Amino acid sequence: MKAFRVTGTAPFGQQRQAFSMDLPAADAADAEHRVYSIMGSRHNVTRRSMDLQSVTEIDPRTSQEPAVLHHFREDIAAAGGPVAPAEEE
């Protein structure tokens, strides 16, 4: 499994809005399928109405997404912890 960042636009209500989602997947095609599945389930958005601009492989240490951090927790700990800057409150 690898970590991917998928960016695109989808209709939310009366307007189209950009989104970015980090998730673990086997390959780029699997990442696309998972995004379609998640967005359809959470927001009732059809596959045809979504426009995915990019699917890129990322370093799991740069993600803030809990699913990615959980899936790669041993690798992140072995590499010395996350690379992403700490968020301010």
Encode pLDDT of 23-48 as tens digits: 999 999 999 999 999 999 999 999 99
pTM (predicted TM-score): 0.87
DSSP per residue, 25-81: ESSHHHHHHHHHHHHHHHH---TTT-EEEEEEEE-GGG---HHHHHHTHHHHHHTTS
Instruction: Delineate the domains of the chain, giving CATH numbers in brackets.
Output: 2-78 (3.10.20.10)
**Per-residue pLDDT for the chain (89 aa), expressed as one digit of tens each?**
999 999 999 999 899 999 999 999 999 999 999 999 999 999 999 999 999 999 999 999 999 999 999 999 999 999 888 885 656 55
